[in-house]
Structure 1
Amino acid sequence: MENNNPNYVYDNVIQIDDASASRKFLANVFLWMFIALGVSAFCAYAFATTPSLLRLMVDENTHGLSGLGYIAMFAPLAFVLLIRFGLNRLAYPVLALLFVAYAALTGISLSFILLIYTAGSVLSVFISSSLLFGVMAVAGYTTSQDLTKFGSIMIMGLIGIVIASVVNMFMHSTGLDMLISYIGVAVFIGLTAYDVQKLKRIGAGLEYGDATAKKYALMGGLTLYLDFINLFLMLLRVFGRRR
């Protein structure tokens, strides 16, 4: 699981009722999300199907991760933190470059799933994830019910998943791993609706404090990207067929 909290605090915002501005903002958010998914998918496929690239990730002597392999596995979290805390300090092109680099590293780290699971099951789970994500995104956008309290519950569930995952690293319990996966699917389905509603409100005409609207759209794209990637990984753990 990508153990990166996909929820961010958008400080110093003033909401104005502007449906056109909200739609434009969300269009930019989803554009960034799709760009990141495209970069990740390309990198994952390239490294999984090119032996010379795969050898860069695995030490031929120890058959463990190489230096690049460890970077690909652990650097994405550093990139997320850098983007989050650099939102008001870094220029928009720098943030965009960091986001693309983060998506590329995430894709490289995900290349291993194409070696563990069959291509057919990865594709079917990806399609299922896309449909679930799309349905919940539409639900979050169209519902008139305030999902703030519901989102808080989902965030607490996310924290619980992270803690349980760390504990299971030592327990190696198959049953607990499957329970975490099922709960994770529910949590990220819920977070998708909550985050889309939150981003809709943010985009409905805001004064952004020190950050520009473009920066917030990029951050929103990162939020939804993480929701989708984690939903995909959780579903893969439940329904993926191993080679």
Structure 2
Amino acid sequence: MEIKRDNYVYDNVIEVEDLDKVSSRKFLAGVFSWMFVALAISAFCSYEFANNLSLLSLVFDLQTGARTGFGLIVMFSPFAFILAMSFGLNKMSYPVLAVLFIAFATCMGISLSSVLLVYTGGSVLGVFITAAVIFATMAIAGYTTQQDLTSFGSLLIVALWGLIIASLVNWFLHSEQLSYIISYIGVAIFVGLTAYDVQKLKQIGAELEHGQTETKKYALIGALTLYLDFVNLFLYLLRIFGRRR
């Protein structure tokens, strides 16, 4: 009787672990789906505004090259969307969060249209593919590793704040050498954050029930996190390897 009881408990443990894995996979599938949608929206908006003078004139003064009032709003609005989605997660409905997420991706795309004006199309495409390969590799590493990355992630977040401060300082100094150093550090930080964030989302997904509204909302926030990881990785790589026009 004891042997049968032990087998029964053991089988139940395996079943619970399998259910957690299924929940994580479904949750991450939703996260990456929203992330890819956001990237597609941003890429489309960036391309359209960079190649259509009537749209580009809404963002930049074509004579002076300075940003227009709309261009300044578009440049800073993503921060507002991030704050609204992060702090309003529990108060906002899922459809509202989805609309804000799409609006965020749209504004990011319009703002990033300047990238296509500064760098050649070939180098942008090459760096994008490189960033995608690195991102996918680290995402797989974060999902499959058995090592807890919590302490590693905490160090990366501290380093990220240092990177932000250094970037603000260099905004006034205009040091090209410091800019390169910041770019290399930025690549290292977001490579690590990609693995950390995927592992964290995997753990969150195991604790949530698939199909629930709360789960869908967390998937949107997860997509926002990974979107930012990828875009920042791409931009820092572009500063290092991109060819200017």
TM-score, normalised via structure 1 length: 0.90
Partner of residue 178, structure 1: 180
Q: Secondary structure at the match of 2:207?
A: coil
Q: How many residues align?
A: 227
Name the residue aligned to 1:27: 29
Structure 2: stretches of 5+ with no match in the other structure: 1-15
Q: How does 1:205-220 map to 2 (within 5 A)?
A: 205-206=207-208, 212-220=214-222
Tell me which amino acid in the other structure corresponds to 1:146: D
Q: Partners of 1:135 and 1:198 in 2: how far apart?
A: 16
What stretches of structure 1 move > 4 A for 4+ residues in a row?
none
Find the counterpart in structure 1 of residue 112 from structure 2. 110
Q: Which of these residues, 62, 69, 72, is aligned with residue 70 of structure 1? A: 72
Q: 1: CA distance between counterparts of 2:96 and 2:195?
A: 29
Does 2:94 align with 1:92? yes
Once residues 208 and 157 of structure 2 are traced to their aligned partners in structure 1, the CA distance between those partners, rounded to angstroms, is 24
Aligned equivalent of 2:234: 232
Instruction: Tell me by how many angstroms 1:91 deviates.
Output: 0.7
Tell me by how many angstroms 1:153 deviates: 1.1
User: Which SS does the other structure have where 1:144 is aligned?
Assistant: coil
Q: Is residue 163 from structure 1 mapped to residue 165 from structure 2 by the alignment?
A: yes
After TM superposition, give the deviation of residue 68 of structure 1 in Å: 1.1
Query: How far did residue 156 of structure 1 move?
Result: 1.1
How many angstroms apart in 2 are the aligned matches of 1:188 and 1:132? 10
For 1:112, what is the secondary structure of its paired residue?
A: helix
Q: Which has the larger radius of gyration?
A: 2
Q: Please, which runs of 5 or more residues in structure 1 have no aligned partner? A: 1-15
**Seq. identity, %:** 62
Q: Indicate the residue corresponding to 2:191 in structure 1.
A: 189
TM-score normalised to structure 2 length: 0.90
In the alignment, residue 145 of structure 1 is paired with which amino acid?
Q
2-structure distance, mates of 1:237, 1:60: 24
If each structure's helix is expressed as a fraction of its own residues, which one has the higher value? 2
CA contact (8 A) 1:37 1:225 kept: yes
Cα distance in structure 2, aligned partners of 1:239 and 1:85: 36
Corresponding residue of 1:130: 132
1:50 corresponds, among 32, 49, 52, to 52
Q: Select 1:80's aligned residue among 63, 79, 82.
A: 82
Aligned-pair CA distance for 1:62: 4.4
Q: What amino acid is aligned across from residue 90 of structure 1 in structure 2?
A: M
In 2 relative to 1, CA 135–61 (structure 1 residues): closer, same or farther, beyond 3 Å? closer
